[in-house]
Structure 1
């Protein structure tokens, strides 16, 4: 067990704690750390999604146990996310995913401002009004595969921006992510086996992936409980600040 295991276990724990509690950041944080360690974008995305199959499943169980899931929304988001993730994976293994990142960052910033405004006004959640969760899942799955992390920022922020109850939006988005990650991982594997994608040797990232899995699984039950007990307005503030911060962080990274 190499030292990188413990490093990525710590990264996985912190990322999953934030992701499970606020509905986003696991993919963004984990992918950023992998890229900073010299892992190519496609390999980083493949590694993170392999880890998210396990951490996502643990998170889904936790949120279901705490009744943070809307089942109709889960079905439609998952179906759209799986399809979008498969398409996004083939795009990532064919072209430079950086071409799409500015659009994700722009949407992220817009949703962050909307969520912060709702927190400032103390707006109460209204009955879920997004008429077509399937297209939202489609977009979230696509950007998640291409960017190595984008499901939560796109889906959770949009749900909250349209007035969905934070607890249900976060819990359902996290539960759906397990299905999306499984589809993306399977597509990466198919692309590798068919020769569509040359990974450059995924075995060298094994301890990193195992660390992300171990840390994430430990954090998942804690995060599900946090969503249940945190006050509504505080939860909205936390999400809004996180979304806006991620948008600024990624925007600066694009300019450098």
Structure 2
């Protein structure tokens, strides 16, 4: 019971941040699971199983508050799904941590750029398909391979390209349900085909997954309102700060401090 309540709290906090800033649920959930000794593939699968419920609730909240850019949504999702499915098969074959140094460098640069943009007026503009396509594919791949990454990569990339914060965050959060679904189905396929030999341990984390789901669903309704209510420069500073802190944490983790 204590384990369930702990993960319910983690799920609530992670989803509150994710829904408001367009990132962090998968990263926070996976980081906690990894810290408790859960292997990377199981941590990613557990986080995505929980996200099926939390992203549905969060997406509904953003839909209610009209935070979704549907044109961007349908341009982003197909590439994210393909990247996510590929990442799920890769992470069950070898350690996805090998790409972390590159992701950390990317996050540090983008986070600094968003902080700069929050203090200097830079007009928002539609994000071109030539940016959306590779960004969605990379974000989906890293999300599955690393247990989190759809929000940090997709949100920061779209904001860095000039997207309007409210609609970028709402669209990325809403599209995450389809990404989580495709990744979860891919993990299921690796189990059914026998490709993922260690998948039997997955049942040991059911209490953790249940807690993440309950906590995340409870926090999701707050997300749509927060994005709609906060000013653009406030959102940019919050997102930028979150990304810089995340990059700093990952750097310390990679260097062994």
User: Shorter chain as normaliser: what TM range?
Assistant: over 0.9
> Which residue of structure 1 aligns with residue 60 of structure 2?
61
Q: Is the CA contact (8 Å cut-off) linking 1:13 and 1:217 kept in structure 2?
A: yes
> What is the CA distance between 1:127 and its match in structure 2?
3.4
Alignment TM-score, normalising by the size of structure 1: 0.97
Alignment TM-score, normalising by the size of structure 2: 0.96
For 1:218 and 1:76, locate their aligned partners in 2 and report how far apart those are by CA, in whole Å: 29
> What is the CA distance between 1:160 and its match in structure 2?
0.7
> What is the CA distance between 1:200 and its match in structure 2?
4.0
Aligned residues: 255
> Which residue of structure 2 aligns with residue 253 of structure 1?
253
Q: What runs of 5+ residues in structure 1 fail to find an aligned partner?
A: none
> What is the CA distance between 1:3 and its match in structure 2?
1.6
For 1:7 and 1:167, locate their aligned partners in 2 and report how far apart those are by CA, in whole Å: 31
Q: What does 1:4-83 correspond to in 2, within 5 Å?
A: 4-83=3-82
> What is the CA distance between 1:53 and its match in structure 2?
0.8
Runs of 4+ in structure 1 displaced over 6 angstroms? none
Q: Is the CA contact (8 Å cut-off) linking 2:58 and 2:224 kept in structure 1?
A: yes
For 1:8 and 1:156, locate their aligned partners in 2 and report how far apart those are by CA, in whole Å: 25
Superposed CA deviations along residues 88-124 of structure 1, whole A, max 9, x for unmatched, are: 0111000111111111111111110110110121334
Q: Is the CA contact (8 Å cut-off) linking 1:129 and 1:163 kept in structure 2?
A: no
> Which residue of structure 2 aligns with residue 106 of structure 1?
105
For 2:104 and 2:150, locate their aligned partners in 1 and report how far apart those are by CA, in whole Å: 13
> What is the CA distance between 1:255 and its match in structure 2?
0.9
Secondary structure in structure 2 of the residue aligned to 1:192? helix
Does 2:239 align with 1:243? no
Q: What does 1:1-256 correspond to in 2, within 5 Å?
A: 2-129=1-128, 131-198=130-197, 199-256=199-256
Secondary structure in structure 2 of the residue aligned to 1:17? helix
For 2:94 and 2:39, locate their aligned partners in 1 and report how far apart those are by CA, in whole Å: 13
